[in-house]
Chains A and B, each alone.
Chain A
């Protein structure tokens, strides 16, 4: 049985349809990449999967619980098994990195402070930040912030790890380090990992399966080999980095023609 199951999911913002009847199953222990261009709806889908927003229709089951219909208490229980690292890292600036990681342990467990301290050190060590626990988020580089966010997401040893654009804004080396960290986490902890990205090298490095989003629908879902071999025009356009034809449409061409003949242009 899938650990995350999305059925006929429709999301609208102010009457504008963002996700249009999505269906997706994510199996336990697999790494699913939600791939797509800007505005394709991948972050919106992610927010539905972690229960931050309610859809117009359809449902999202996480560990068998429909998080679009469940009570607040049930949603909290489900959320304890999900670790999330946001695109902006979203670390609490008023807390040190160690306190950021310790927060959920202090709030959701009755562990002794010394045990929590040890666990925090272990989580930071996993992401290579064991010596940086006393620093505050504003004292870290972009890559370190992302890794700290992953450490915080791992605090309660969740079954599901959700990462929103982990490589965005990072240089290729730091980005590759994060990819290796994700692969390591999957191998070491057998986690189900959902990653939203538009970085192709990262996606093909860490994915078991890839779901390609285009304008709120899946244009293709499959293993990375299937996606690489796909003949779907949208998938090919994305993989081959082909720009849209917008600049060549007659309306745009006519506009530029008119502008060039106007006195302003001369």
Chain B
């Protein structure tokens, strides 16, 4: 009896800790080309369905243009193209994840959005040091959830790392 009570108390404390770090360790996961990726939810403002994109000239191919988000004009990036994968026709499951990084708001086009997962640090392995090609250089680490592996992305690198392109 006593043991059980103390056990319960322990569990309670853990819950409180987690509640305090509201967004730490939580990742929004999505699918690109049947692979699962994710990044920290603290960057995410909202998720919307795909909508009309207005093209902007002189941009790298992965910057598709801009959209009108309730009166704000924000740039959108096709993550597939950013990873060097072939384009895919947008369907009704294609989403735009609107993120905010360093005061800049950008939309990321992904095939499908999955779910928000808790991935504690202990479950994240460093990227096996393979060729730093295309998509690989955006990966922060490999998050293990159950039997699956989600590739966790570095949002800043995703937005700004050059391949002879932007900013």
Q: Do A and B bind each other?
A: no
- Chain B interfacial positions (CB closer than 8 Å to A): none
